Amino acid sequence: DVKVTQSSRYLVKRTGEKVFLECVQDMDHENMFWYRQDPGLGLRLIYFSYDVKMKEKGDIPEGYSVSREKKERFSLILESASTNQTSMYLCASRGGTGTGGNQPQHFGDGTRLSIL
Amino acid sequence: TQLLEQSPQFLSIQEGENLTVYCNSSSVFSSLQWYRQEPGEGPVLLVTVVTGGEVKKLKRLTFQFGDARKDSSLHITAAQPGDTGLYLCAGGPYNQGGKLIFGQGTELSVKP
C-alpha cells in the first residue's frame, strides 16, 4: 500500500513566521502535490512537482513556495504566515509519468494549520 | 479556469434511503474520479471513469460518466451509517498532465 506521511497533524504558528510542512511518500512516485482544503471550497492545488527539483504553480500559489530535493520528499513553505493561510493542508502523490492523469492520487492525512 | 460544481453540498438522510450526488462542468474531462474522505483522514479513491457513458458499480455505489464527459453522478442505494463522509469528485483536464480539478464536496450524513 502507498503511504504518504505528513510530518504534523496539527500545527499552530504566529503571523509572520516561516512555516515548513513536510511530506514523504514511500512508493517511488514521480508526482507530488500540495492542496489546501477549506469548507465549501473543496481541494485547491497550491503547487505540484513531476520530478526532483521540478515544481509548477497550481491554482493558488501566492504566499507559498515548495522544495523537492529528493524524490520521496515534497515540502511546502509559507514564507511569512498570515491568518488567511489557516487551513487543512493535504499532500498527495501519484504514480505514472507525463499525462498519467487517470492514476489515483494517494493522500496523506493532512496537517491542520492555525496561524494566530 | 475549469470548474466542477458538485451538488448538493450537504445531505442528511435516514438509513435505507437512496441518494444521488451530481458533479457538473462546462468543460470536458479526460477522466473523472470520485474520492471519499472521513474525518481526520485524507481522501481515498473510490473509482475512476474514463469513457463517456461509462457506468461502474462498487457494491451499493453506482458511478456514471456523462456521454459528453462533462458531468458525473454517484448514486448510493440503501445508504448505511458507514457511508457517512465527504464525497469529492475530481476531473482530469486534457493537456494538463496529472492535475485534478476538485468539486466542492458533498457532506453526507446517514442516520441510523
| CB of B21 closer than 8 Å to CB of B77 | no
Using the Cβ of A92 and the Cβ atoms of chain B, whether some distance falls under 8 Å is answered with yes
Sheet holding B61-65, edge to edge: B5-7, B19-24, B71-76, B61-65, B55-58
pLDDT at A100 over 60: no
- As a whole number of angstroms, the distance between CA A46 and CA A90 comes to 10
Using the Cβ of A99 and the Cβ atoms of chain B, whether some distance falls under 8 Å is answered with yes
Using the Cβ of B6 and the Cβ atoms of chain A, whether some distance falls under 8 Å is answered with yes
> Which of B33, B47, B99, B101 best probes binding to A when mutated, by most A CB atoms within 10 angstroms?
B99
- Determine the residue type at B7: S
Number of Cβ within a 10 Å radius of residue B26: 10
3-state secondary structure of B81: helix
Using the Cβ of B18 and the Cβ atoms of chain A, whether some distance falls under 8 Å is answered with no
What does the radius of gyration of chain A's CA atoms come to, in whole angstroms?
A: 13
- Determine the residue type at B60: R
pLDDT at A101 over 60: no
| CB of B76 closer than 8 Å to CB of B16 | no
From the CA of A104, how many Å to the nearest CA of chain B?
6
Pick A105's closest partner by Cβ from B1, B96, B100: B100
- As a whole number of angstroms, the distance between CA A65 and CA A103 comes to 25
pLDDT in tens, chain B (112 residues): 678 999 999 999 999 999 999 999 999 998 899 999 998 899 999 999 999 999 999 999 999 999 999 999 999 999 999 999 999 999 987 766 678 899 999 999 999 9
